């Protein structure tokens, strides 16, 4: 499989760019397809870039004909839950219509292997923890629903059209390339680790914790933080699995270890050696008490297991944010 071309749609974004790095390290040729609305041209370092939107069928056809990829990795999506509530139309246009356009182009080009970036938000409020792939899917916001709709479409494309896919449901992506070449860079930033690191660096006033009265070991929410390079490794393994003839499957990507917000902040303070102000405020609507993955299936199907722990996640993120002036 070495030398095969993989089209990485949304490859200039956070997880997409780290996956391009891993693809290149494993002998693949990543080609980035991105409209650069949220991605960064500076993050395209391991292969050519083609500018275009996933809703532009003619442009997709042109790029697929030019590069003839063996597989497609699809990361391009609007991802902010709060924004999806304010502007659901944009999320449906991009995440659903855009993906269906991409799938039609992929089929027309004869691409039979498709890896989809999904989310644990498709599960909705957890009925049991840790969550496994058989947990009911009842998303509670437009973002989660758009991802769930695509998952359902992919099941139909597999059954009726023979397009095999791996659906990867992320828990909390975090961290950065250990060499500091790329990292987490969102505008605006809404993720806990970058926000807390920016507070430690003095780039923002402090850090707000939403809710301290949850039924957890210290009253704050529990989340499953997974290193972005572990996510990237799973995506490349998913490509290899499909190219070997693997059947369609949906897999959780998480560590299986839960971390409270207080524990996370303590780790960031230890790594940075910089205390920062923390304010405890009321709960945020829609937040689950605990979100932790059961990752047994990804281990069984892909031979994948996460390598990095919370301290390594925070160290790599700190390295990236501390040296980066892009914020």
In this structure, is the dihedral angle defined by the CA atoms of residues 294, 232, 13 and 74, taken in order, positive or negative? negative
In DSSP notation, 123-156 reads S-S-SSSSB-TTS-----SHHHHHHHHHHHHHHH
Q: Which tokens sit at 132?
A: 């496994």
Catalytic annotation, pick one of 143, 148, 157, 170:
143
The β-bridge partners of 117 are: 168
Peptide bond into 188 cis (omega under 30): yes
State how beta strands 49-51 and 164-170 pair.
Answer: unpaired
Contact between residue 134 and residue 92 where contact means Cβ atoms under 8 Å apart: no
Strands (E), 37-163: 49-51, 71-74, 113-119
Q: Which helix (H) or strand (E) holds 291?
A: strand 290-291
∠ at Cα 304 (299, 310), nearest 5°?
A: 105
Active site residue 143: yes
Distances from the Cα of 282 to the Cα of 99, 117, 148, 209, 212, angstroms: 36, 31, 29, 8, 8
Exposure string for 219-228, b = 16+ CB within 10 A, e = fewer: ebbbbbbbbb
Active site residues: 143
């Amino acid at each position: 499989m070495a030398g095969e071309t993989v089209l990485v749609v949304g490859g200039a974004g956070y997880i997409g760019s780290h996956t391009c790095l891993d693809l290149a390290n494993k002998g693949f040729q990543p080609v980035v397809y991105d409209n650069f609305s949220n991605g960064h041209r500076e993050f395209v370092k391991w292969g050519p870039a083609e500018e275009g939107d996933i809703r532009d069928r003619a442009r997709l056809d042109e790029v697929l004909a030019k590069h003839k990829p063996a597989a497609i990795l699809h990361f391009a999506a609007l991802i902010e839950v709060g924004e999806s509530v304010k502007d659901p139309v944009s999320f449906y246009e991009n995440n659903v219509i855009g993906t269906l356009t991409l799938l039609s182009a992929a089929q027309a080009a004869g691409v039979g292997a498709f890896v989809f970036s999904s989310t644990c938000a498709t599960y909705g409020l957890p009925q049991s923890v840790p969550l496994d792939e058989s947990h009911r899917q009842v998303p509670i916001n437009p973002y989660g629903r758009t991802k769930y709709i695509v998952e359902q479409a992919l099941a139909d494309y597999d059954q009726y059209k023979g397009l095999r896919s791996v659906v990867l449901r992320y828990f909390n992506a975090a961290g950065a390339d250990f060499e500091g070449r790329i990292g987490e860079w969102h505008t605006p930033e809404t993720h806990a680790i970058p926000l807390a690191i920016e507070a430690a660096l003095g780039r923002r006033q402090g850090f707000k914790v939403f809710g301290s009265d949850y039924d957890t070991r210290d009253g704050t929410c529990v989340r499953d933080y997974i290193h972005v390079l572990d996510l990237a490794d799973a995506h490349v393994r998913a490509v290899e699995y499909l190219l070997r003839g693997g059947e369609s499957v949906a897999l959780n990507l998480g560590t299986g270890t839960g971390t409270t917000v207080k524990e996370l902040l303590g780790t960031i303070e230890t790594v940075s050696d910089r205390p920062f102000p923390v304010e405890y405020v009321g709960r945020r609507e829609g937040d689950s008490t605990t979100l932790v993955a059961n990752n047994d299936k990804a281990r069984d199907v892909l031979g994948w297991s996460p390598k990095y722990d919370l301290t390594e996640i925070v160290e790599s993120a700190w390295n990236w944010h501390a040296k980066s002036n892009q914020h």
